[in-house]
Amino acid sequence: MADNTPWTTEIQPPPGRKTKLSLPNQTTANPPVFNDAMIVRTRVFIDEQNCSPEGEIDSDDARSWQWVLYASESESESETTNPIAVIRLVPPPHPPHDLLTCPDTASASTGNLPKYDWVHEPCIKLTRVAVMPGYRGKGLGRRLVEIALAWASSHAREIDDAAAKLAAESNESASLKKWQGLVLVHAQVDVEKMYGGLGFQTDKELGKWDEEGIDHVGMFKRIDISH
Ligand SMILES: CC(C)(COP(=O)(O)OP(=O)(O)OC[C@H]1O[C@@H](n2cnc3c(N)ncnc32)[C@H](O)[C@@H]1OP(=O)(O)O)[C@@H](O)C(=O)NCCC(=O)NCCS
């Protein structure tokens, strides 16, 4: 890709629990932008990083926003638009951190651990950041993080509404707190430097844990928000 390749972004709002989401194929009922997101996620996480296909779509997908970045490229005489990068923003709440760092202990005491952490300050989580291999190193990963954070800073009400909706749907007694601009990433250790460059700081108290065979660390950043 030449560095002046025209690119555009599309946002996928939370599809909702009633939409059946699946990996991309010809008979999918996925919303189109969600499907494009899955084309990139499948290529990067399943094909390249060997993550399990079963775990790629998780319970967060129905309640999250995603942005897909497209490149317009000329092939012979026609122009094609291809999805080349993706990022997902998961609203609060998230599972208790112990479920990740001490799964054995946590599962032994599952009865004591709620499905979601309603106690700590709410944060949004940026996940599933992926750029197609041929497009890396051109600033697209950074751009996607910036796009998602800029959107979040002016959509705090939607983020609070999403958390309230989950609280209403779950059987857990939730104490709802407003989102105050805290952003979390679970960074693959190889990518810790990239998030550091974007203003995220590693929280050593969260430790290091294995997800899909890849070591991760937790990093936070606080952004300004307008309610
Ligand atoms: C990680 C990934 C999204 C980065 O996308 P990208 O478009 O190549 O990143 P950018 O070009 O925007 O780089 C942004 C910054 O991060 C740095 N960076 C990017 N990838 C990096 C890596 N793997 N290790 C260290 N630094 C990295 C760049 O040097 C750049 O720094 P700068 O702004 O100081 O110049 C991409 O490599 C990818 O899809 N990897 C596979 C999936 C993955 O690991 N996702 C992360 C899950 S936590």
Q: What tens digit of pLDDT does each residue of 116-133 get?
A: 898 899 999 999 999 999
Residue 183: predicted pLDDT:
98
Say which CATH number the domain at 69 has.
Answer: 3.40.630.30
User: Using a 6 Å cutoff on CB, does residue 191 contact ligand 1?
Assistant: yes
What number does the ligand 1 atom closest to the CA of 128 have? 47
What number does the ligand 1 atom closest to the CA of 137 have? 11
83: helix, strand or coil:
strand
Does 177 fall in a domain? yes
Out of 136, 144, 200, give the residue to mutate to test ligand 1, the one with the largest number of ligand atoms within 8 Å of its CB: 136
Residue 45: predicted pLDDT:
95
Does 61 fall in a domain? yes
For residue 189, give both structure tokens. Answer: 């250790």
- Whether the predicted pLDDT of 181 surpasses 60: yes
Domain that holds residue 130: 7-222
For residue 118, give both structure tokens. Answer: 């309603």
Tell me which residue of 97, 35, 82 sits closest to 61, measured CA to CA: 35
User: Using a 6 Å cutoff on CB, does residue 145 contact ligand 1?
Assistant: no
Does 227 fall in a domain? no
Does 14 fall in a domain? yes
Which CB contacts under 8 angstroms, 24+ apart, belong to 11-20? 11/65, 11/66, 11/67, 11/151, 12/37, 12/65, 12/66, 12/67, 12/68, 13/65, 14/62, 14/63, 14/64, 14/65, 14/162, 15/61, 15/62, 16/62, 16/63, 17/62, 17/63, 17/169, 19/62
Closest residue (by CA) to atom 34 of ligand 1? Answer: 197
141 CA to centre of ligand 1 in angstroms = 6
193 CA to centre of ligand 1 in angstroms = 8
Q: Please state whether beta strands 78-90 and 208-211 pair in parallel, antiparallel, or not at all (unpaired).
A: unpaired
- Whether the predicted pLDDT of 201 surpasses 70: yes
Tell me the per-residue pLDDT of 73-92, one tens digit each, with 9 for 90 and over.
877 777 888 999 999 999 99
Q: Cβ-count burial of 37 within 10 angstroms (0-12 exposed, 13-18 middle, 19+ buried)?
A: buried
User: Using a 6 Å cutoff on CB, does residue 40 contact ligand 1?
Assistant: no
Tell me which residue of 85, 83, 165, 90 sits closest to 122, measured CA to CA: 90
User: Using a 6 Å cutoff on CB, does residue 177 contact ligand 1?
Assistant: no
For residue 79, give both structure tokens. Answer: 């122009």
* Interatomic CA distance for residues 181 and 76, integer angstroms: 46
* Interatomic CA distance for residues 109 and 105, integer angstroms: 6
User: Using a 6 Å cutoff on CB, does residue 1 contact ligand 1?
Assistant: no
Tell me which residue of 139, 151, 133 sits closest to 66, measured CA to CA: 151
Residue 103: predicted pLDDT:
64
Residue 67: predicted pLDDT:
98
Q: With a threshold of 0.85, does the pTM exceed it?
A: yes
Closest residue (by CA) to atom 8 of ligand 1? Answer: 136
Does 2 fall in a domain? no
Does 1 fall in a domain? no
Most confident of 18-22, 151-155, 163-167: 151-155
The count of structural domains within the chain is 1
Residue 1: predicted pLDDT:
45
Q: Please check whether residue 223 is in contact with residue 170, taking contact to mean a CB–CB distance below 8 angstroms.
A: no
User: Using a 6 Å cutoff on CB, does residue 194 contact ligand 1?
Assistant: yes
Closest residue (by CA) to atom 19 of ligand 1? Answer: 194
Tell me the per-residue pLDDT of 49-75, one tens digit each, with 9 for 90 and over.
999 999 999 999 999 999 999 998 877
Average pLDDT of the residues in 164-174 = 83
Does 195 fall in a domain? yes
DSSP state of 62: G
- Whether the predicted pLDDT of 112 surpasses 70: no
- Whether the predicted pLDDT of 111 surpasses 90: no
CA 156 to chain centre: 17
